[in-house]
Structure 1
Amino acid sequence: MSTWTLTRRDLLRAAVVAGAGAAGLGGIEIVHQVTTSPGLAGGTIGAVRRVASMCQMCTTACGIIANVRDGRLLTVEGNPADPNSQGSVCAKGVAGPSVLYDPNRLLYPLKRVGRRGEGKWKRITWEEAYTEIADRLRAIRESGRPEEFAFQQGRNRSTDIVARFLDAFGTPSAFNHRALCSLNRRAAILSTIGDSDWDLGDFENSRYILNFGSNWAEAHQGHIPVAIRMMRARERGAKIVTFDARLSNTAALSDEWHPVRPGTDGLIALAISHVICAEGLWDREWFDRWTNYPAEKYAEHVAAYTPELAEAESGVPAEAIRRIAREFAAAAPRCTTICNRGSAAHRNGFHNDRAITVLNALVGNMGKEGGWCWHPMSAWDKKALPEPGPIAPKPTARSLIAEAKDWPLANAWQGNKMRVGEIVYLWIKERRQQISALMTYNCDQAWAWPEANLVREVLADEDLVPFHVCLDVMASETSNLADIVLPWTTYLERWDIDSRPPQGLVDYVGLRQPVVAPLGESKDLREIFPELARRIGGGMEEYFPWVTQEEYFEQYFAPVPGGFAHMREAGIHVDPAKKPNYLPYEKELTAEELKGTRTEDGVIHGPEGAIGVMVDGVARRGFGTPSRKVEVHSQFVNDRGREADRTISPLPVYEPIPGHREQLAQGRLIMISFKWNVHNAHRTMQSKWLQEISHTNPAWLNPATAARLGLAHGDWIEVTSYRPIDPEVPRGDGSQVGSLRTRVHLTEGIHPQVIAIAHNAGRTTGGPVASNGRDRATLPGHDSPDYARIWWAGSLSVAQNDILPIYPDPVSGQQAYHDTMVTVRRIAGGT
């Protein structure tokens, strides 16, 4: 296999070609930077009222200012008060009005009158909807089996109200999408430092950044906040090196792009570690002081992971790995890594991200300015801003599906709900747990989940799911399989307390507030759940004592200077007394903190567990791990594996993906997925503004690969996927999953053993915009004039999720999105 490296000049040229050819547009994220504001949030300019709120067009949740006139939203811009996004907003945020005013929105409660999936509905009143839902849920709760009520959520930015309702009901059957997003990465970080499940590289102050599969310029949880800081770092001379199977916009903005075989990121990190150790480039003093494993022993461990081995497996030249290792170490401590689904969404993703995390410990950059940093809070400070009481107790009932005990590191850390979401519907089909009622919220798992056809099969079966309520803004594949559909408000019509991991290393809190009145009869959970609780009764109503949502937030924001009124005006609050979270492990414990403690093997224990560690004779806070040090060797992980009768290495290792070598030798390809810069899961494809920009998803193939397969640019192909050949995963028998038909897009911007397809396409429900004019549903409003405005009607749009197998990493349960093996053959027809 050929290997190559592209310089920054090559990347910028290639990115324009790759972006334009694949989607029919340039691959540039539109960013609106507010440099001067014509007026503060909360004020008015002429007839225009400016309202501070928070975006939810993607998971980054940037602060925004809505410009409203006569009760109608005109435009959305960034809020300069947001310390993360600092007044910027991406194309998705700008497009908010197109979702708010979409003529195909769900605006009234609907009840199914035909078979599930048949698309026959009648409009009902909220009174009718509340009565039927409450009666069903009350019967489940009074049966003594509250776990039979399951709640399936997607991106939940209303965590407080959701947890309150489910806890008050007593159900533990809350299924999130953590395993379809970031479980491996979080588990790797928690097992190594214990302080956080999210790293926040101090990119703005860094001099060298190694990027392992993170597409921060297009589709990252920190997106705009990270991109801002990365570009400032570049302006100051920082070097960015990206390892990724695909030439993303992030790769194009880097100084170097190295195309890698999927699943080999961890091996590259171990090979870089090998060079750093072998050439004495490490910060041995820091490593020996602050980790639980001797530097010499770790050097012995990584000795086998040579750059030559990494080249053979990944395709990255050995000499490039040596050079990068030397450059990275020379920049320490102002160097850092960033990784995401490109490294983590694999069968070996936990080990990949462990290797990348420990690489930072080798050069002693952890917690230092310009280095690999973190913050103990991934949201607002909940001690300073406690949730208004009374608080419901946690459920005592058990949920086999939610606990997911087949995976040693799923739900392994208290307070981190690492549900294995991709196995929920398979296990329901296998009747491992009785589900009497399901509520679906902002998820659309019938389109977005791996083996989505299986999800649809289960949701259509009234024996498996007797009652299904779907709450969402738009009709979807999932709502089409519900019994009752409730119209949810958009983020521009509802209340929330929200914030994201602080890129500036100082936590903050934000307010999402309605910028316009809710359209039609749409309602938010904050109105729906209290009403359902009162109707279900049995004590549930006690946990919802407030009369209005405003009353609830008056209490919530009481500790903020200026209270709720200030939050409504500014939208964001940052405590000016707080400093960036640099070197938290060096904090000396006070005499008061040391009262009543005991020290054993250097670890300082208080009444509730370890609180610090003796380092050079000084009692310091240390890290949040059992040893209070960076756990290069994780006994916790090893023990969890042994309890589950599974062997998990306590040290970072590289484990090849089972079956890949053999299948690649047979001519199969590795299929990966990615997001376009203007889309985010199912929430953006209804936007006419964004869908017009990007509405197709052909298959990216390397020209050398296409030549081997006898394919030319634009040819129609059939892509057939297979389950893994792996006895440690569900249905790991190598059987066929399914096929799709698409067209070939030839580009040098893809690894020769890879085929890449964007998953932001292939909708069949949700209105004519979402489905490129082919919506087959019959919900009210789907005969709108928008059909005539879709000049791209009939454009190529395929559902990749239907052919992605359910493939949880055996260690944590993370969905291995980028390990699917496929065959490709040329076909004569179109769709």
Structure 2
Amino acid sequence: MAFNLTRRKFLQSASLAAVALPLSEAIASETSIQRSPLESTGSFGDETVVGGVCEMCFWRCQLVGKKRGDRLIKLEGNPKSIDNGTSICARGNAGIKLLYDPDRLKYPLKNVGERGNPKWKRISWQEALDECGTKLKQVHEKYGAQGLCMFPHGSSAKYPMHFMERTLGTHNVSEASFYQCRGIRDTAYLATIGKAPGENVDMPNAKVIMLLGGHFGENVHVSHIKRYIKGLENGAKLIVVDPRFSASAAKSDVWVRIKPGTDTAFLLAIMNYLIINKKYDEEFVDEYGDGLEELQAGIKQWTLEKAAAECDIPAAQIKEVAELLAANSPNVSIHPGRHVSWYGNDFQRQRALACLTGLLGAFYVKGGWVPGKGPKVGAISWAKHDHGDEHNLNMNEDEERLYPYAPPGTPTELIRDAALTGKPYPIKGCVIWGQNPIQTIPGQDKMKEVLKQMDFVMCVDVMPTDVTMWADILLPEVSYLERYDYIKTGTQWDFADNHLQFIAPRMPLAEPMFERKDQVYITNEIARRMGFEKEIPVSSAMEMVEKNLEVAGLTLDQVRKEGGIHTRPGKDPYAMPEDFEVLFYNEDIEDAGFPGIPTYKPTEPPPAGYTRLLYGRVPVHTFNRTQNNVWLNRAMPENPVWINDELAAKMGLSDGDTVGLVNQDGFSSRTTTTVKTTPGIRKDAIYMAHGYGSANPLLTVGADAGVDDQSLITKITVDEETGAHGMRTNFVKLVKDGKVLDIPTSA
């Protein structure tokens, strides 16, 4: 068998081998070569350490670590967990490769080149913190708090974010988890049932599970997937609404191959059918519903036939779904989804999902939407001061919200537009903490222009992601395996008679290496330099977690002795609150200038010769965050582009062909990927996994691997009610051998 070893691969392999090579003290003293800090010391008796909470994705499974000497060699699910149990996914296992990734940021760095084309100089923490504190203070004094903005992500970003918002007083904070992910879902459900939904559906006890664009099995959030599988094992029927034959669609009883962007029309037709035929839960609606008459009048035009024509699916299939839901109500899981920033008409779609759940009486019942009643812990952080709304970009001159149902923070586009125009005020200082806005926010060139015009840009991260190339000061953060911060709480989701709650604080499984620091140290030191030392709430991350545990009557030592997870008796999750209400019609939404009932807004169709670009998750990656992980990269090194097999044949494309992409604005992908031909996708869309195609050359594994779909999302669409982005409103052609290929049909 031929052994194909390129020079680059050899050098990479040699570098990795050198990092792990054990050297005795005798050799080191003779040669002046120091033992690698990645190599373990001490005895080789394996030790189990508890208190791990994963963050290879946001689901945060509870972990234990296996140590050999001072080196962490393996991660496993915590056997005490009533959440994920002993199970963790491929990404969770690969946390070891993140911890010891040779490309990880190790020292504070100063950019002595240009933003976007950096030249890095290693500096001391003293110099780095002095510069960050001085530059941020200068912006704060010259422009006010409104002259600063922040793009945070992850649990470690909460503490610095609260410093920016509560103490400094800036409103200009945009979290990708809200404005490019779940924020629309949360505010739509708040406007319908008064609560953000989370992913709280009792799938183990459901008779029917309905997923709208939810590709379970590809996102692999372990405890969530276990609940989903338990429901299927218990006999639940599965309805999947998706333009693509996803992993979930492959297990479905009904796969609705819907036209992208028409989901709300589909939901309105189902609700209209249920109301007309008296197949909704009249008793539940009479007691807990408000506005049914307005809903009925507003959606009466949505017949099965009209929706079928709009959604390009059979009318009989819409009726089949409605009948299946009605026959099994109220024990149906209408999943609210998570990443719902799709087409710019998303608030109304999420309202429709909540209203459909209400019509079926599927709130606070077995198999329905049930918020697990988790235990209370503290939230010690920076004290919140009232800075007023004078400089809130989401408020107009009449003190009315431009986007009345915006998630927490400020809509991303308002921040970027203000930064580029200087109106209503300039934004000249930027803190980026754990987020990669180059690859999370549509309009990469716009984001780069925003960063170019800043007086100062500070980045804090674990890895050298693409956005770190735009930093003036780049600070290395400890990973989730090396710090205290987050406390995971929850409920036992099989909802047996003995309801249980759990509390699992994140504790370090390994000591930090090199010069990496945690979020509390970094934020406190910058706060001191900006003149806010008296405001500092805790002296360390460990103290922060201890104070938060005090609210639950716990200490870190106690939880550690209990195996890293504290459990206690829970409460009945099915108890209906006295004030619960489903607003089928919301007068406040109408007063704000939007439809008070869920309303369908058509999306722009693909232009001639183009097809719609869809994207999503894969089981072995968390978007861009894991692209440099050696184990995960080997499992899926690129993101093949899915294209309908009939279209592919007309275009002369075959499986494995190398292609690039170009969008409707003429933006081309920097890199290429391969073709996956399949009948499992509609002809008016293509699909690829998100997060590939990193541009930072410091990522020796992930750079230039696959295509960056975000680079092709240049047409910016904003949801009218929330200000959050629509992320699936761009269109592409494929490019093979330098030739642009028209898509034969979008029908």
Identify if the C-alpha distance between structure 1 residues 403 and 465 changes in structure 2 by more than 3 Å, giving closer, same or farther: farther
Q: CA offsets per residue over residues 311-338 of structure 1, 9 Å max, x none?
A: 2222332112212211111111111211
Give how far 1:827 is off.
4.2
Identify if the C-alpha distance between structure 1 residues 82 and 637 changes in structure 2 by more than 3 Å, giving closer, same or farther: farther
Q: Which amino acid aligns with 1:274?
A: N
Pick one of 622, 629, 634 that aligns with 1:680. Answer: 622
Identify if the C-alpha distance between structure 1 residues 404 and 207 changes in structure 2 by more than 3 Å, giving closer, same or farther: farther
SS in 1 for 2:458: strand
Q: Are the aligned partners of 2:160 and 2:519 in contact in 1 as well (CA < 8 Å)?
A: yes
Residue 479 of structure 1 pairs with residue 468 of structure 2: yes
Q: Are the aligned partners of 1:189 and 1:199 in contact in 2 as well (CA < 8 Å)?
A: no
> Which deviates the most, 225-234 or 448-457?
448-457
Partner of 1:193: 193
Residue 362 of structure 1 pairs with residue 293 of structure 2: no
Partner of 1:518: 512
Q: Are the aligned partners of 1:61 and 1:500 in contact in 2 as well (CA < 8 Å)?
A: no
CA distance in 2, matches of 1:349, 1:544: 40
Identify if the C-alpha distance between structure 1 residues 676 and 499 changes in structure 2 by more than 3 Å, giving closer, same or farther: same
SS in 2 for 1:182: helix
Residue 654 of structure 1 pairs with residue 645 of structure 2: no
Q: Are the aligned partners of 2:162 and 2:381 in contact in 1 as well (CA < 8 Å)?
A: no
Identify if the C-alpha distance between structure 1 residues 51 and 574 changes in structure 2 by more than 3 Å, giving closer, same or farther: closer
CA distance in 2, matches of 1:419, 1:142: 22
Q: Which amino acid aligns with 1:655?
A: K
Partner of 1:347: 344
Q: Which amino acid aligns with 1:272?
A: I
Identify if the C-alpha distance between structure 1 residues 672 and 802 changes in structure 2 by more than 3 Å, giving closer, same or farther: same
SS in 1 for 2:72: strand
Partner of 1:689: 631
CA distance in 2, matches of 1:402, 1:152: 17
Partner of 1:395: 387
CA distance in 1, matches of 2:82, 2:396: 37
Q: Are the aligned partners of 2:159 and 2:382 in contact in 1 as well (CA < 8 Å)?
A: no
Identify if the C-alpha distance between structure 1 residues 409 and 707 changes in structure 2 by more than 3 Å, giving closer, same or farther: farther
Aligned ranges 1:270-285 → 2 under 5 Å:
270-285=268-283
CA distance in 2, matches of 1:359, 1:439: 41
Residue 168 of structure 1 pairs with residue 167 of structure 2: yes
Residue 446 of structure 1 pairs with residue 377 of structure 2: no
SS in 1 for 2:325: helix
Residue 635 of structure 1 pairs with residue 587 of structure 2: yes
Aligned ranges 1:223-262 → 2 under 5 Å:
223-262=221-260
Partner of 1:807: 717
Partner of 2:18: none
CA distance in 2, matches of 1:140, 1:507: 45
CA distance in 1, matches of 2:276, 2:431: 55
Aligned ranges 1:295-374 → 2 under 5 Å:
298-340=295-337, 344-374=341-371
Pick one of 442, 446, 456 that aligns with 1:467. Answer: 456
Identify if the C-alpha distance between structure 1 residues 456 and 148 changes in structure 2 by more than 3 Å, giving closer, same or farther: same
Aligned ranges 1:421-432 → 2 under 5 Å:
421-422=412-413, 424-432=415-423
**Any stretches of 5+ residues in structure 2 without a counterpart?**
1-42, 741-747
Identify if the C-alpha distance between structure 1 residues 394 and 688 changes in structure 2 by more than 3 Å, giving closer, same or farther: farther
Partner of 1:3: none
What TM-score does the superposition give when structure 2 sets the normalisation length?
Answer: 0.86
Q: Which amino acid aligns with 1:441?
A: W
What TM-score does the superposition give when structure 1 sets the normalisation length?
Answer: 0.77
Give how far 1:186 is off.
1.4
Q: CA offsets per residue over residues 585-643 of structure 1, 9 Å max, x none?
A: 3xxxxxxxxxxxxxxxxxxxxxxxxxxxxxxxxxxx222xxxxx2110011211223xx
Q: Are the aligned partners of 1:51 and 1:67 in contact in 2 as well (CA < 8 Å)?
A: no
Q: Are the aligned partners of 1:474 and 1:766 in contact in 2 as well (CA < 8 Å)?
A: no
Q: Are the aligned partners of 1:271 and 1:306 in contact in 2 as well (CA < 8 Å)?
A: yes
Q: CA offsets per residue over residues 627-685 of structure 1, 9 Å max, x none?
A: xx2110011211223xxxxxx1101122211x32xx45x34311111121111122111
Identify if the C-alpha distance between structure 1 residues 472 and 510 changes in structure 2 by more than 3 Å, giving closer, same or farther: same
Identify if the C-alpha distance between structure 1 residues 412 and 310 changes in structure 2 by more than 3 Å, giving closer, same or farther: closer
Residue 420 of structure 1 pairs with residue 411 of structure 2: yes
Identify if the C-alpha distance between structure 1 residues 307 and 418 changes in structure 2 by more than 3 Å, giving closer, same or farther: farther
CA distance in 2, matches of 1:531, 1:825: 50
Identify if the C-alpha distance between structure 1 residues 59 and 668 changes in structure 2 by more than 3 Å, giving closer, same or farther: same
Give how far 1:240 is off.
1.0
Q: CA offsets per residue over residues 46-85 of structure 1, 9 Å max, x none?
A: 5313222211111111111111221111111112433432
Identify if the C-alpha distance between structure 1 residues 160 and 469 changes in structure 2 by more than 3 Å, giving closer, same or farther: closer
SS in 2 for 1:175: coil
CA distance in 2, matches of 1:55, 1:270: 39
Partner of 1:108: 107
Q: Which amino acid aligns with 1:678?
A: V
Q: Which amino acid aligns with 1:746?
A: T
CA distance in 1, matches of 2:179, 2:381: 31
Partner of 1:551: 543
**Any stretches of 5+ residues in structure 1 without a counterpart?**
1-43, 586-620, 624-628, 642-647, 723-734, 775-795
Aligned ranges 1:786-825 → 2 under 5 Å:
797-805=706-714, 806-824=716-734
Q: Are the aligned partners of 2:460 and 2:476 in contact in 1 as well (CA < 8 Å)?
A: yes
Residue 527 of structure 1 pairs with residue 521 of structure 2: yes
CA distance in 1, matches of 2:681, 2:563: 42
Q: CA offsets per residue over residues 16-50 of structure 1, 9 Å max, x none?
A: xxxxxxxxxxxxxxxxxxxxxxxxxxxx9953132
Q: CA offsets per residue over residues 707-757 of structure 1, 9 Å max, x none?
A: 4445443445453323xxxxxxxxxxxx55555654432111111211112
Residue 208 of structure 1 pairs with residue 117 of structure 2: no
> Which deviates the most, 806-815 or 746-755?
806-815
CA distance in 1, matches of 2:158, 2:102: 29
Q: Are the aligned partners of 1:762 and 1:799 in contact in 2 as well (CA < 8 Å)?
A: yes
Give how far 1:804 is off.
0.3
Q: Which amino acid aligns with 1:348?
A: N
SS in 2 for 1:174: coil
For these two proteins, the number of residue pairs brought into alignment is 688
Residue 65 of structure 1 pairs with residue 64 of structure 2: yes
